[in-house]
Amino acid sequence: MKRMLKLEGLDCADCAAKLENRIKALDGVVNAGINFITLKCSVEALDKDMEDVLEKVVKLINAEHPEIKVKRA
């Protein structure tokens, strides 16, 4: 299953790349990517794990970049 998140306030391409790598390393994440141009983050996980994975992704982003507002796209 794949979900998209909107990352409002992300203003650094290098930060996006580092954040993408951190998200990919989270337990349960099958794949992830951040498109800096569209400010969208795609997260792929098993159906049964998706809600837990999304919660981990949002917590990670909030902890590392509190200026970014995460919304479901």
- pTM score of the predicted model: 0.94
* Rounded Cα gap, residues 21 and 35, in angstroms: 13
Amino acid at 21: N
The residues near 16 (Cβ < 8 Å, ≥ 6 apart) are 7, 10, 34, 36
What tens digit of pLDDT does each residue of 39-68 get?
A: 999 999 999 999 999 999 999 999 999 999
Say whether pLDDT at 73 is over 90.
no
CB 73 within 8 A of CB 61: no
What tens digit of pLDDT does each residue of 1-47 get?
A: 999 999 999 999 999 999 999 999 999 999 999 999 999 999 999 99
Domains of the chain: 2-72 (3.30.70.100)
Phi and psi at residue 35, in whole multiples of 5°? -100, 110
The SS3 call for residue 71 is strand
